[in-house]
A and B are shown apart, each in its own frame.
Chain A
Amino acid sequence: MRFVITVTVEIITADGRVIVGTFKGFDQTTNVILSSCHERVFSETEGVETLPLGLYIIRGDNIVLIGEIDLERDASVDLSEIRAAPITDISRR
């Protein structure tokens, strides 16, 4: 029987993007595979926009943070009500 991982994670990338998807695998350099993922685009003037992306491999160099999402808590948050500036690019000061 194949082992199936069904953890939903949020990845913050070096350029400040927030990508949410199902965690499928990783290696020692923190390269990560996410399936059925989407990007959450934060804005100060309107609610969070969700962009479908599909299957992604994210190179470890570009990863800042990987967070495990609590699905219950995530479902209770109304993304269209959230106003926030995007996370800054890691190289820009």
Chain B
Amino acid sequence: MLFYSFFKTLIGQQVTVELKNDLAITGILTSVDQFLNIKLDEIRAVDEAKYPHMMAVKNCFIRGSVVRYVQLPASAVDTALLQDAARREAQQPTTGGAH
């Protein structure tokens, strides 16, 4: 659940999502859920010449399972805090999702 909470803190930021089919999309993060499905607003393909497939699409839902990377604005992330939270979650195995 840590990364779910983490992504929720990034709502409103401009992010670039690279998918497993190499398609990269930039947009404003509007929503994230427990599966790390992502909703983006005001989207555009990073390589618009190669990907005109979504020209008329203004906002989209991306299935969490097809995401390869999410590029974040460095200014929006407190890495020390994130590292601390990750360490704390690792120390409490009962709160983790593994079974």
A residues adjacent to B (C-beta < 8 A): 10, 12, 14, 16, 18, 30, 40, 42, 60-61, 63-71, 73-74, 77, 82, 84-85, 87-90
- Identify the B interface with A (CB < 8 A): 19-23, 25, 37, 43, 50-63, 65-66
Nearest 9 interchain pairs by C-beta: A67-B57, A74-B56, A67-B60, A66-B61, A73-B56, A64-B66, A90-B21, A70-B58, A88-B21
The answer to whether A30 touches B43 (Cβ under 8 A) is no
Instruction: Describe A's contact surface by its main secondary structure.
Output: mixed
CA distance A25 to B62 in the complex (A): 16
Contacts of A88 in B (CB 8 A): 21-22
Whether the Cβ atoms of B37 and A12 lie closer than 8 Å is: no
The 8 Å CB contact of A64, one of B19, B43, B51, B57, is B19
The A-B contact count (CB < 8 A) is 76
B51:A84 contact, CB within 8 angstroms: yes
A69 contacts which of B21, B23, B37, B57 (Cβ < 8 Å)? B57
Q: With the chains together, A90 CA to B43 CA distance in Å?
A: 20
Interface centre among B19, B22, B61, B65 (most CB of A within 10 A): B61
Q: Bound complex: CA of A30 vs CA of B66, how far in Å?
A: 13
